[in-house]
Structure 1
Amino acid sequence: MMDSSPHKFYHVHGFDSRQFLEHYFSDKPDMVFGDDTLKFLIDNFRQVFALGHINGDILIDLSIGSAVHHLYSACEFFKNIIMLKVSNRCIMELKRWVDERTGAFYWGHTSTLLQKKEENSDPFQDQEAKLRSAIQHVVKYDPEKENMTDPLVLPPADCVISACLLDVISKDQDDYIRYLRKFSRLLKPGGHLIIFGALSTTYFTVGKDKFHVFTYDEDFVRKALVGEGFIIDYCNVKERTAVSDLVDYKAFISIAAHKEK
């Protein structure tokens, strides 16, 4: 099915989850993606939740790797966050941070970015602790299964977030729409979907390995959402500023929509 691609597939071959975080989300001086993967992502999720209509009991996160910083704003509106991960390695990396174990990835630089955006933020309020408390479950899933978390059956969610996951598990347009449909089934009627993705991308690199990314543009993702019965509430696109050959995206898109009842 996927042998035609010269690159590996995220959900099939797996990758070094810590190296992925170091490449694209760290506070190291040579990490050049800060404006795109840190500032833009945090700011856009903050803006989306500031709209005031995305809230409820349960939020399900389906995102690439073990990143958590996109959920800082979400934990102000959801006290029960369920994170789905495709590999044991990503689960272990995430749980190391949630449980505050020795050797966990450092996310302090990202919570500082959010505090700078919040004019009324309490400098003594620990955003990371809030998020840890909100993450109630970390569950392994298989995107190919009808019930992706089989044998577990998840409760319907008020909101589903997917950051870059559709990009890396979809081999073509039909795949993207098929997975989008599966993700939307996790929602309650009228529930909200927030997608963060990389436009016009063909690969990303972790260590010595290159991984497949489905190439699409803004028009495609808009049509895909509308075709699945969503109404788009918010969309923002940021052109790439980073100089690096680790990944070849042209821009990032942040888009929020709600499912028609």
Structure 2
Amino acid sequence: MAASKEDDYKDSFDAEFYLKTYYSSVKSVDGTTEFMLSHYHDIFQTGEITGKRLLDIGTGPAICYVIEQCLRFDQVYLSDFPESNRRALHQWLSNHNFHDYSPFFKHLAKKFSDERTWEDIRDEVAQKLSGILFCDVRSASPLKPSFFPQFDAVTSTFCLHAVPETLGEYRAIVRNVSSLLKPGGWMVEMGHLEETYYTVKDTRYNVLYMNKKDVCKIWTEEGFTIHNWKEYTPVSQERKTYTDWKSIFCMVAKKKNPSEK
């Protein structure tokens, strides 16, 4: 079944199936989960990306890619469009047994030289999560009806390229996301390159095909300086059964101050 960009994301996205299928273990057939967890750790451990308040856009139903952010910022806000994803996030906050993230907490605990246990990390994540918000990146006010002052940093994983149907729409989304970020603030986006679709259960979701040049050109023209770019291309082809992406990218960019433009 093909999914529309709005109705089927809102009504048919199966959050529980998604969690059980893709986030029951850190180990993945193509190594992507390990790469992303490790690279988020590398990005934030430098201490360059700092601040008090961070927004994650398009969190989905899983918290595994916001753990590092919660360990570095005082307040972390999650957001997504489908109600099913936001409900799954609320359910984990209310009951940590809703989904077992212990493999992810244990994986990251090994990267720290202090005496924090994986339970300490889990509890800190739960404490730092300050809100779970509705978000529509197609809107000029993505968090409406909520309103927040601009954030010190914004992260997004596998979201922004899944929404638009054209590069013009992606540019508009970048502009909308930028409005949520302070001048001088940091943007970290992880996404897929050269992807056209992915599937969850029996539903196929179409994705805008983009390459590195497309992504870098649009973010740069919308007032960002790209400080770091990294790609990961797995050897395994097993993912071909549910998606066709060629590589994962991670972009770290800084929003220019008005005087720099």
- Asked if TM exceeds 0.5, the reply is yes
**Do residues 260 (structure 1) and 256 (structure 2) align?**
yes
**Which of 68, 80, 105 is residue 111 of structure 1 equivalent to?**
105
Residues 101, 68 of structure 1: alpha-carbon distance in 2 compared, 3 angstrom cutoff: closer
Q: Give the equivalent residue in structure 2 for 1:225.
A: 219
Contact 1:9–1:169 (CA under 8 A) maintained in structure 2? no
Residues 124, 143 of structure 1: alpha-carbon distance in 2 compared, 3 angstrom cutoff: closer
The percent of aligned pairs where both chains have the same amino acid is 22
Aligned mates of 1:199, 1:23 — CA distance in 2: 22
Q: Give the equivalent residue in structure 1 for 2:201.
A: 207
- 178-187 or 220-229, larger mean C-alpha shift: 220-229
- Secondary structure of 1:23 counterpart: helix
**Do residues 126 (structure 1) and 124 (structure 2) align?**
no
Root-mean-square deviation over aligned CA pairs: 2.0
Q: CA deviation at 1:107?
A: 1.0
Q: Give the equivalent residue in structure 1 for 2:230.
A: 236
**Which of 48, 60, 85 is residue 80 of structure 2 equivalent to?**
85
**Which of 36, 42, 51 is residue 37 of structure 2 equivalent to?**
42
**Do residues 32 (structure 1) and 29 (structure 2) align?**
yes
Structure 2 residue identity aligned to 1:158: D
Contact 2:227–2:254 (CA under 8 A) maintained in structure 1? yes
**Which of 156, 161, 164 is residue 167 of structure 1 equivalent to?**
161
Contact 1:7–1:203 (CA under 8 A) maintained in structure 2? no
Contact 2:3–2:205 (CA under 8 A) maintained in structure 1? yes
Structure 1 residue identity aligned to 2:51: G
Q: CA deviation at 1:240?
A: 2.4
Q: Give the equivalent residue in structure 2 for 1:3.
A: none
Q: CA deviation at 1:45?
A: 0.8
Q: Give the equivalent residue in structure 2 for 1:193.
A: 187
Structure 2 residue identity aligned to 1:19: F
Q: CA deviation at 1:86?
A: 0.4
Residues 45, 78 of structure 1: alpha-carbon distance in 2 compared, 3 angstrom cutoff: same
Residues 17, 11 of structure 1: alpha-carbon distance in 2 compared, 3 angstrom cutoff: farther
Aligned mates of 1:51, 1:101 — CA distance in 2: 30
Structure 2 residue identity aligned to 1:26: S
Question: Structure 2: any 5+ residue segments left out of the alignment?
Answer: none
**How many residue pairs are counted as aligned between the two chains?**
252
Contact 2:92–2:99 (CA under 8 A) maintained in structure 1? yes
Contact 2:152–2:185 (CA under 8 A) maintained in structure 1? yes
Question: Structure 1: any 5+ residue segments left out of the alignment?
Answer: 1-5
Structure 2 residue identity aligned to 1:66: P
Aligned mates of 1:250, 1:258 — CA distance in 2: 26
**Do residues 246 (structure 1) and 236 (structure 2) align?**
no
Aligned mates of 1:241, 1:121 — CA distance in 2: 35
Contact 1:9–1:168 (CA under 8 A) maintained in structure 2? no
**Which of 107, 132, 144 is residue 138 of structure 1 equivalent to?**
132
Q: Give the equivalent residue in structure 2 for 1:156.
A: 150
Q: Give the equivalent residue in structure 1 for 2:52.
A: 57
Q: What's the TM-score once normalised by structure 1's chain length?
A: 0.90
